[in-house]
Structure 1
């Protein structure tokens, strides 16, 4: 994998400001060719540095007022891949992490209200074979979320 250089970093910074910005505008701002911008972005995607350019949905504006972080204790850690596949089938589970410590997996999920959250936890998550225990913390709002600074 090639290392990223100043051109790549500056292109990424422009995309962070507005992911919809035309490549020609990036090229003009950075005083490089449109072709170079296209090639660099394609290479960054191929290398997995950029995992795509997609919208960020404000969950609260579309009716999902509740968020929770939930630690999952599994019966056997070897079940994690199967459990993850089941979690992927639940659209309200938006993130899933392998972690160290008391839990095997840590998920973020969103719900429309407390009843929706209860159903997610007790009727969907708790019914996945291999999950021994869940421990949830309700999210009260995101203070900030950002990409790593390049």
Structure 2
């Protein structure tokens, strides 16, 4: 990935709906050249998709938590992902080093909704127990490049 590709990526991270002309301007290319480069980034998997970022408060999901997940046995990351993917309150999950096997980022309407969602996480096959930290305020939230 060169500097032009990085400029294209920065542009679509900032605005996934940017036109080819806008992408080209950001990267110093014509619209048609920007389209070719963007298509190549998608074809090679450097860009895996385009998405809309929804403000959780627009959905009235104002309660946020980070949940450490401790598993029984030694499930693979794919097995843990399979266990968590159908829980809509789980918005992100990562395997981690340390005592926990994974950390799960969860969103919910309120504490009772969060509690039910954490209970669903606990009831999945590989999960033995969880430890939760409820977010009080979000200090910084940057788009990922």
**1:59 is the counterpart of 2:56:** yes
Matched with 2:72 is: 75
Unmatched 5+ residue regions in structure 1? none
Using the alignment, how far apart are the partners of 1:61 and 1:40 within structure 2? 34
Asked if structure 2 preserves the Cα contact closer than 8 Å seen for 1:74 and 1:80, the reply is: no
1: CA distance between counterparts of 2:116 and 2:52? 28
Do residues 144 (structure 1) and 112 (structure 2) align?
A: no
Counterpart selection for 2:101 from 99, 104, 107: 104
Deviation at 1:55, TM superposition (A): 1.0
- Of 70, 80, 91 in structure 1, the residue corresponding to residue 88 of structure 2 is 91
Q: Is residue 128 from structure 1 mapped to residue 120 from structure 2 by the alignment?
A: no
Q: Which moved more, 1:38-47 or 1:106-115?
A: 38-47
**Match in the other structure for 2:36:** 39
Using structure 2 for the length normalisation, give the TM-score.
0.88
Root-mean-square deviation (Å): 1.9
Aligned length: 145
Counterpart position of 1:23: 20
